[in-house]
Amino acid sequence: MENRFFKEAKRWLIQAKDEFLDADELRKRGRFYLALFHFQQAAEKALKAYLYYKTESPQVFFTHSIGELVEMANKFDRDFSKLKDGEKLDRYYIPTRYPNGIPGSIPSRYYKDPKEAKEAMEIAKKIIDFVDERMR
């Protein structure tokens, strides 16, 4: 039986997948600061989709932390502990967007490492795929 928030959860998951694709395009273009932020956002939205699906509670929107969202999801499915490395994405939520997030630097010039962006992409993909599988 479909819970009353399943439709909303699916909307969040679709947004997460679309945002992931956009982030990957930014990564390929070398716009790493934006790609990193949107990989974080894609993972966040996927986890919130799962929590919407499981909890039927708006409380999931009170955090933007991947680490916290994984912990919340882990209460429903212990296999979410496999996504613990997702908390690495938390470091891209603020500093990738604001010049004062990295003292003495500018995000668009600071984030230059394609390996860092690739790792973020892989983590976000793992989270999205994991959630997608759990919501089928």
Give the model confidence (pLDDT) of 82-113 as tens digits. 999 999 999 999 999 999 999 999 999 999 99
Listed as own residue / partner, the contacts of 17-22 with beta carbons closer than 8 Å and 24 or more positions apart are: 17/42, 17/46, 17/128, 17/132, 19/45, 20/121, 20/124, 20/125, 20/128
Domain of 68, in residue numbers: 6-134
CATH number for position 69: 1.20.120.330
Distance between CA atoms of 40 and 4, rounded to whole angstroms? 27
* Residue range 58-65: mean pLDDT, rounded: 80
Q: What's the domain count of the chain?
A: 1
Distance between CA atoms of 53 and 89, rounded to whole angstroms? 22
Is the distance from CB of 123 to CB of 38 less than 8 angstroms? no
Q: Does residue 118 lie within any of the structural domains?
A: yes
Q: Does residue 97 lie within any of the structural domains?
A: yes
Q: Hey, how many other C-beta atoms are within 10 angstroms of the C-beta on 27? A: 21
Q: Does residue 1 lie within any of the structural domains?
A: no
For the chain, the average pLDDT equals 94
Q: Does residue 52 lie within any of the structural domains?
A: yes
Q: Does residue 41 lie within any of the structural domains?
A: yes
pTM to 2 decimals?
A: 0.94
What is the reported pLDDT for 55?
A: 81
pLDDT > 50? residue 1: no
Q: Does residue 72 lie within any of the structural domains?
A: yes
Q: Does residue 22 lie within any of the structural domains?
A: yes
